[in-house]
Structure 1
Amino acid sequence: MGVSGCGKSTVGALIAGRLELPYAEGDGFHPLPNIEKMAAGIPLDDADRAPWLDLVADWLGEHRTDGGVIACSALKRAYRDRLRAGAPNAYFVLLSAPRAELERRLAARLGHFMPTTLLDSQLATLEPLEPDEAGVTLDATAGQQLLVTEAIEAWNATHR
């Protein structure tokens, strides 16, 4: 989880590959009006996100027995609570990076609907994981393989 450009899609896919679990890209669950809105530089509001979060929660619920990994912004606690409604044992990995690094990554990214201009609205919306939430916050500027290892080790430490 995290704002656009933090690496959640890449790291999520790598985690799923290492654990041999199904992987889904949360952006693929957005209805076309959401994608069009973001592409136009208009931030999504809670009403826009609600049906998308329900689809993500459904996917998580379908995979809660055998496991699965999905990349999803999950910026607010309320959004994560909604996801946990579908998968009560969901574990969140928040990838955090300085704004300048996120902006650099977004500027270098080609072919994605999310413009750099929405970064500030995402950063303003982001609510860090709270102590009672199952998850870990990692420095997204670390190497991808290190992030994968740290995420898996953090999950394993809470599930022994």
Structure 2
Amino acid sequence: MSPAGELLVGLVIATGLVGVVVQVLPGSLIVLGAVLVWATETGGGVAWTAFSVGAVAVAAAAVGKYLLAGRHLAGAGVRRSTLVWGGALGVVGFFVVPVVGLPLGFALGVYLIEWGARRDSRVAWRATVAVLRATGIALLVELAGALVAAGAWLLAVLLT
């Protein structure tokens, strides 16, 4: 692949990494897709090994983030219905308050649902904090997988 093509792939990978953090774009899939395009165009054992390492890392992160976040939420006693309603209010918040409405609506939704179900503000606050921590755990695990994929690509580019 030409240097300009590799630069373009690098920019797409950077966009994917930002997408992982911002949680609006499917960041890990964008990173993996960019590495796949590069491996297809470059060819060879090094390129396909980089893609394989990236695919395994992204898949492991996808499974790991749900397992770790789920374990955290189960330990905190947060119900699934709370997450569903919090997510629904997050979507509403996304359209009401641009950019920051999704996380604000989600957090407010979790708090309100828990407060309404238990009528205890301390319990509702603990559930909200647990959900936000679980979200952070999931984000970090997904970011780790995407960074491994990006690192494998960068190493492969330097080796080819």
Both structures adopt the same fold (TM-score exceeding 0.5): no
Question: Which structure dedicates a bigger proportion of its chain to strand?
Answer: 1
Which structure carries more relative contact order (alpha carbon 8 Å, separation 6+)?
1
Q: Which has the larger radius of gyration?
A: 2
TM-score, L = length of structure 2: 0.28
